[in-house]
């Protein structure tokens, strides 16, 4: 899920201050460290200043600290800015400071608190001016982020749709971010076709400029993933390659690493082992050398697990086992239950193929993890492996029990597939209704514009008629005055001509 800061209105600032502040805003997305350095200088330069200039400097510094994930320092700066702006009665800028605090709560995992503060902000702005609608939409987007992070994608979808009702008052970047998040939420919900629709809309809505390449890359990456989950592996690979190339051009190392990981996974499934290995090795190097990625445990564990699968495919069992074990250690250390379940399952299957006695215990542990994390696919695969293993050991009771569980899971997965298809059908009907409502809205807008233009034309015509009538009255008065006094009448005529 994506968060975006709204642009600040810098017009109240004088020329020198304005140019520096503009430089900070432009660098906020492309080079956050540069933005922070410039903001810090601006903040120091206004150290003894009071009023609006100082409040702006504090707010700009807070935004750059937020972008560089310096949570505590950002929180303190936002609070100082909020108090100063409240004293200056700058309500619009106060909303910027409050939204910054919401983003910090989200960044530090305080989802309930963030959702509550964002809801309060959204309610305050509900009847605000048009200029406040962008922050209101971003507050709804923040609530959706909190819902998604707490495993409630349906509620996230509802809040994002509320935000998009304000589309006419939003900038293209904010529209694209909300649409992208709507796609991501639908992926989590299992509505892959609807996710593809919203992500395509996000890509189309993105402005054709360098305003926010990270958003464009995130949209492409998630679009590829949605196609992969929908079963279109070739299209997923094609889109991911586009994101991969663009990430290299724009030096977006995180997107480059995840794109390389996904390309490695896709090429492994396509039996393109040479390409898969090259992509996965690049992803591993990036995860080890780029400061923004060194702490990303999910990325590192996923790369090692994918490399293990590749080694397994090539018949290098011991090497595969070592890679799976390293991935599991990372997942256990950083408490990543889904990743741990997958790596544990791979270890158990590998040990089973090698005929190791500990294979059964490893697979049973994988099954426990999969059940705890509600990973039905991994449960199915664990029961399958255990059924084969126990049958080979002539433990018929256990083999029968695992076969029964497999039958139950098959029914559950089949019901889940039917439910997913029903959801996709409902989504298609909802989308068709939204398209029709959009067309009706555009027709109503055309009618309103035409009516307004007609009213303006009629007003102009009547105004001209009134002016003409006034001219005729003056001319008549001039003729009457000339009848009695030729000099006075001539003066009135001259004034009339000038008029």
CB 74 within 8 A of CB 40: no
* Tally of helices (H runs) and strands (E runs) in the chain: 21, 0
**pLDDT band at 304; cut points 50, 70, 90:** very high
**Ramachandran area for residue 492 (φ above 0: left; ψ -120 to 50: alpha; else beta):** alpha
For residue 173, give the DSSP letter. Answer: H
- pLDDT value for 449: 67
**pLDDT band at 280; cut points 50, 70, 90:** very high
CB 300 within 8 A of CB 339: no
**pLDDT band at 260; cut points 50, 70, 90:** very high
Distance of alpha carbon 68 from alpha carbon 74, whole angstroms:
9
Strand spans (E) along 404-487: none
Q: Is the pLDDT of residue 137 over 80?
A: yes
Per-residue pLDDT of 104-113, as tens digits, reads 988 888 888 9
**pLDDT band at 278; cut points 50, 70, 90:** very high
- pLDDT value for 35: 82
What would the two tokens of residue 334 be?
Answer: 């950083």
What would the two tokens of residue 340 be?
Answer: 């741990």
What would the two tokens of residue 11 be?
Answer: 């017009």
CB 8 within 8 A of CB 20: no
Give the dihedral sign, CA 165/170/172/174.
Answer: negative
Per-residue pLDDT of 372-417, as tens digits, reads 877 777 888 888 888 888 888 888 888 888 888 878 777 765 665 5
What would the two tokens of residue 313 be?
Answer: 């495919």
- pLDDT value for 58: 87
Quote the Cα angle for 84-89-94, to 5°: 60
Give the dihedral sign, CA 276/279/281/284.
Answer: negative
Q: DSSP letters of 392-413?
A: HTT-HHHHHHHHHHHHHHHHHH
Q: What is the pTM of this model?
A: 0.66
What would the two tokens of residue 67 be?
Answer: 């972008």
What would the two tokens of residue 215 be?
Answer: 């958003």
Mean pLDDT of 36-45: 82
- Residues 6 or more apart in contact with residue 222 via CB below 8 angstroms: 180, 183, 184, 187, 195, 199
- pLDDT value for 497: 46
Q: Is the pLDDT of residue 255 over 90?
A: no
- Where is pLDDT greater, at 319 or 334? 319
SS3 211: coil
Chain-centroid distance of CA 460 in Å reads 48
CB 431 within 8 A of CB 182: no
Out of 28-32, 183-187, 294-298, 376-380, which region has the weakest mean confidence (pLDDT)?
A: 28-32
Chain-centroid distance of CA 57 in Å reads 28
Token pair 């009907």 is found at 429
**pLDDT band at 493; cut points 50, 70, 90:** very low
Q: Is the pLDDT of residue 60 over 60?
A: yes
Phi, psi of 40 (to 5 degrees): -65, -40
Q: DSSP letters of 321-366?
A: HHHHHHHHHHHHHTT-HHHHHHHHHHHHHHHHHTT-TTHHHHHHHH
SS3 129: coil
Could you give the maximum distance between any two Cα atoms of the chain, in Å? 132
Average of per-residue pLDDT values in the chain: 81
CA atoms within 13 A on the CB side of 98: 25
Mean pLDDT of 224-229: 86
Nearest to 5 by CA among 30, 28, 23, 36: 28
Percent of the chain with pLDDT over 70: 84
Q: Is the pLDDT of residue 204 over 70?
A: yes
């Amino acid at each position: 899920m994506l968060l975006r800061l709204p642009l600040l209105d810098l017009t109240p600032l004088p020329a020198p201050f304005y140019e520096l502040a503009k430089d900070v805003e432009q660098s906020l997305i492309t080079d956050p460290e540069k933005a922070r350095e410039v903001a810090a200088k601006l903040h120091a330069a206004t150290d003894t200043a009071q009023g609006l200039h100082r409040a702006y400097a504090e707010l700009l510094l807070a935004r750059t600290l937020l972008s560089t994930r310096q949570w505590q320092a950002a929180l303190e700066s936002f609070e100082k800015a909020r108090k100063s702006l409240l004293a200056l009665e700058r309500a619009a800028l106060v909303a910027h400071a409050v939204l910054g605090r919401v983003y910090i709560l989200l960044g530090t995992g305080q989802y309930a608190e963030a959702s509550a503060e964002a809801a309060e902000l959204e309610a305050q702005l509900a009847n605000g001016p048009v200029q406040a609608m962008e922050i209101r939409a971003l507050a709804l987007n923040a609530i959706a982020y909190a819902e998604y992070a707490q495993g409630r994608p349906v509620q996230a979808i509802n809040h994002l749709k509320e935000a998009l009702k304000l589309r006419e008052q939003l900038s293209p970047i904010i529209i694209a971010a909300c649409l992208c998040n709507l796609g991501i939420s639908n992926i989590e919900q299992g509505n892959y076709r609807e996710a593809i629709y919203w992500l395509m809309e996000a890509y189309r809505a993105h402005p054709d400029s360098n305003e926010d390449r990270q958003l464009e890359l995130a949209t492409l990456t998630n679009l590829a993933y949605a196609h992969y989950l929908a079963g279109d592996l070739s299209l997923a690979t094609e889109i991911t390659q586009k994101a991969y190339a663009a990430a290299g051009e724009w030096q977006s190392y995180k997107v480059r690493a995840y794109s390389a990981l996904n390309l490695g996974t896709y090429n492994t499934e396509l039996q393109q082992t040479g390409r898969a290995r090259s992509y996965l090795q690049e992803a591993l190097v990036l995860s080890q050398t780029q400061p923004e990625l060194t702490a990303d445990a999910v990325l590192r564990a996923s790369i090692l697990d994918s490399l293990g699968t590749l080694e397994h495919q090539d018949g290098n069992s011991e090497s595969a086992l070592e890679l799976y074990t390293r991935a599991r250690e990372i997942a256990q250390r950083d408490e990543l239950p889904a990743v741990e379940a997958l790596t544990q399952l791979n270890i158990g299957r590998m040990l089973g193929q090698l005929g190791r006695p500990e294979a059964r215990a490893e697979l049973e542990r994988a099954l426990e993890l999969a059940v705890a994390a509600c990973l039905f696919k991994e449960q199915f695969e664990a029961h399958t492996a255990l059924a084969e293993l126990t049958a080979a050991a002539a433990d018929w009771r256990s083999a029968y029990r695992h076969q029964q569980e497999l039958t139950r899971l098959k029914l559950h997965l089949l019901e889940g597939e039917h439910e997913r298809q029903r959801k996709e059908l409902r989504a298609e009907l909802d989308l068709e209704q939204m398209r029709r409502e959009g067309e009706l809205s555009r027709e109503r807008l055309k009618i309103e514009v035409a009516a307004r233009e007609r009213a303006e034309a009629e007003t102009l015509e009547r105004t001209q008629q009134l002016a003409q009538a006034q001219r005729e009255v003056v001319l008549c008065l001039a003729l009457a005055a000339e009848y009695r006094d030729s000099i006075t009448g001539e003066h009135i005529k001259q004034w009339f001509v000038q008029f």
